[in-house]
Structure 1
């Protein structure tokens, strides 16, 4: 199999992974009540309603990127940062029924478009909301990150320890390429359950623990109290 064909196969398989992650998320959301949505999420300043509104609008933003890749017509992920934030604020107070319908419909729109993407359009270059140029093959992973991480952020019983192993492995490896210590001090991480190890900068300390716990700490979803070693202060994960 050529590298292009292999990448296409990986992208197609990732769509099934996103669908499975969403199939875990939707019933968990459906089990909530309206009162649960006004309670704080694990994200500072956001209720669970904010998280759900963001997940729905994110799916639509990734539709924009797939349309850009498919047609060649530039379609920004979000019209503006202001409108992105305004949509989340407007959607946050909605009752559960509306949130669930929106989350389901936006997921189905995105997945339906992704499943019929012509093979020769997946490598097309688009830009994410930070302005970085990426191939459209990156978009399914972007959606999986949103679904899995924000499922944890909802604080409804799903934790980093529930992440599938393949997702955890990829997130941990990626986060080590993106994380930056706030004071510039380097460090090494070692996953005690998988054997993964990686270093940022000139290591002054080693941080050890299960892969999921390391990944959650690196992306700011855990204070790292379940890890061993001297924890450096990390800049915010993007």
Structure 2
């Protein structure tokens, strides 16, 4: 069961942790490449801020983004800013999102995200938490997938497995972590390819952050997953 209030508190803690770590950078470091191909750390920070605005739009019943071109242009425009401006933007947009989420609301209502994707409002705080945690890792400033909590990692694997479930481009897969947790995803027909490995590596592969080299898939090759 989704507990949006608990997720909002976890989101607050993750945001504070990211801001604290990023505050140790300087303007030159913000301009350096992140772990995301083609993006500087400034791109990542600008995206984090604009995503808060976008998910605020979702909570308040507006389109998440005006369109894809506007989304991309906003990130490009924000990427070269100084560290102080970047951090203030991330902090202020996080505060606006939290202020909206703290208002009484029907958290069971259905909301619309990008590309017509729908979800319940109660899952929006977790979606935002994912953005903060994964992009903190993407900044390349000392946090990695292994540092994420077991709860978060398992929930995000489940979330991504659900996202790829039934996708005709993804063969049937069974994902298993060393502690026995198992997730099923991909097409619903045919024998499932068993993929096993540490939960951070499973998450990294599903989220496009790792190539799957640390995973065991002796029954066949790892498929190329569609972009998120």
Q: 1:147 to 1:40 in 2, by over 3 A?
A: same
Shift of 1:188: 2.1
1:60 aligns with 53
Q: Which moved more, 1:181-190 or 1:194-203?
A: 181-190
Asked if structure 2 preserves the Cα contact closer than 8 Å seen for 1:218 and 1:234, the reply is no
Shift of 1:36: 1.0
2:222 aligns with 232
1:42 aligns with 35
Asked if structure 1 preserves the Cα contact closer than 8 Å seen for 2:201 and 2:215, the reply is yes
**Which runs of 5 or more structure 1 residues have no equivalent in the other structure?**
1-5, 69-74
1:22 aligns with 15
Asked if structure 2 preserves the Cα contact closer than 8 Å seen for 1:187 and 1:232, the reply is no
Asked if structure 1 preserves the Cα contact closer than 8 Å seen for 2:170 and 2:223, the reply is no
Q: CA RMSD in A?
A: 1.9
Inter-partner Cα distance in structure 2 for 1:27 and 1:82 = 31
1:98 aligns with 85
Inter-partner Cα distance in structure 2 for 1:21 and 1:162 = 12
Shift of 1:182: 8.6
Secondary structure class of the residue paired with 2:6: helix
Runs of 4+ aligned structure 1 residues displaced above 4 Å come to 180-184
Asked if structure 2 preserves the Cα contact closer than 8 Å seen for 1:53 and 1:92, the reply is yes
Q: 1:14 to 1:55 in 2, by over 3 A?
A: same
1:33 aligns with 26
2:139 aligns with 154
Shift of 1:184: 4.7
Per-residue displacement from partner, 1:114-140 (whole Å, max 9, x unpaired)? 112x14x22222210121222211211
Shift of 1:204: 5.2
Describe how 1:189-208 pairs up with structure 2 within 5 A: 189-192=175-178, 194-200=179-185, 201=187, 202-203=190-191, 205-208=193-196
Inter-partner Cα distance in structure 1 for 2:181 and 2:155 = 11
Normalised to the residue count of structure 1, the TM-score between the two structures is 0.86
Asked if structure 2 preserves the Cα contact closer than 8 Å seen for 1:179 and 1:234, the reply is no
Shift of 1:172: 1.1
Per-residue displacement from partner, 1:20-71 (whole Å, max 9, x unpaired)? 1111111111011111111111111111100000000000111111222xxx
Shift of 1:234: 2.4
How many pairs are equivalent?
222
**Which runs of 5 or more structure 2 residues have no equivalent in the other structure?**
none
Asked if structure 2 preserves the Cα contact closer than 8 Å seen for 1:179 and 1:237, the reply is no
2:72 aligns with 85
Normalised to the residue count of structure 2, the TM-score between the two structures is 0.90
